[in-house]
Chains A and B, each alone.
Chain A
Amino acid sequence: MQTIQYIALYFIFRFWNDSTWYQNKEKEIVFIVVTYLLYLLVGWFTWLLRPIKIEVKQTNSLGNGIDQTLILQVDGTTKTDQSLKTVKLELKISRRGSIWWRLLMRIIKGKKLCLEVDPVPEGMFLQAKEHFQIQEVTSTYSGFEIDLTQLMNQLYNQIGKLSIDKTYLYFVTEHQDITIPSNLSSVVQPKLTLNSKPIKFLHLFIDFKTSQHEIKFFKK
């Protein structure tokens, strides 16, 4: 934008009869345009050639595209059974051939890359189904995390394009020990972490897209 503004400024002054400001500005213009193009190029490179794409989709088990789960409690008993409050988390990981693989693997070497699933704000507890049996799923206090490290290593050793899908189910735990405040509404937006820290600049290598799932809790 600033580049365009600058060029516009140059032309305005150039055709403005009584101004001489535009003289000797050609070098500056070239400099600005070249740096701008370089910036675009770098952006294109990282966008086009990111080796890994991770997409997360969450829907209520009722059907496709339902991104909300409602839990109703009347007089202390729940009116929503377990099947109705189950959320389906679909994980799609695509691999691409890229010159950045080696660098990416060096960064995550010896570290743990996880998809963390937690409600915001806290207050409800998410429980992954069959989590004692699924090796990569570990419970955290309010939710759970899916360890992707091993999968990354496997994908690294593959060649060319490859895409895998995984589905996990989770639901809100209701328990005599848990008191959920009235009308609590939380959003579940999974995030990628490296050794439990947000991945930040790793977004340059990992194209990460996630959906939000809203869980609403009503007490009557």
Chain B
Amino acid sequence: MRTHVVHLYESIGNMKNDFSHFSEDLFAFDSFPVVGIVSNDSLNMPSRQTIVKELKLKPFEIIQDHFDLFIKKADKLGVKLQKIEFTHEIEFELEEEIDDALYNNDYEEIFKIIKQIRNEHVDIFSISFFYEGNRYRMTKHAVAEVLGESSNEIPNIIIQSPLSLIAGLKKFPSSEAF
């Protein structure tokens, strides 16, 4: 098991067949127009930039509301938050409050603090969390970190973990469902 860093992109148009042989680091999601590229250091593989350019992949940003909802519903989703990073430095006091709340798993409190931070026009840059014992991370540039054996199983891991909720591939369960 090792951590894979996966960059998610949108694929435009129907080109599913084109890229299966393009690179081993590239994979598609069956039911979404999304592809992932696993970071690698190998020189034999085409670089991420080359693949993106060649296939005209479209980068996308994570909707900030999804980060907020994820925090709010962390308990219900069975997630333990580990770390929240912001696009700008925030006040030291707020930072301490968040650390305390993280330590106590008080996600309602974090949600409130985040709302406060949003008033200062600061966005969330990334969230790291534990789900079913494994560590995951998602940045606002749709770069995911997942733990896995080989890169073939990554699409499934992403779809079945809360990462798919943050990325907007799946809908957050409505509150009535709980």
A residues apposed to B, CB below 8 Å: 77-84, 125, 127, 129-133, 139-141, 171, 173-178
Contacts and interface: CB of A to CB of B under 8 A. Distances in A.
B122 A178 contact: no
Given A81-B122, A83-B121, A177 B59 contact: yes
B175 interface: no
Contacts of B169: 132
B141 interface: yes
Contacts, number: 61
Nearest to B122: A81
Contact of B141 (A80, A125, A139, A175): A175
A178 B59 contact: yes
Contact of B63 (A82, A139, A178): A82
B56 A141 contact: yes
Main secondary structure of the interface of B (DSSP, over half): loop
Contacts of B87: 77-78, 81
B178 interface: no
Contacts of B10: 139
Given A81-B123, A139-B10, A132 B88 contact: no
A77 B87 CA distance: 8
A9 B100 CA distance: 91
B32 A139 contact: no
A82 B61 contact: yes
A139 B33 contact: yes
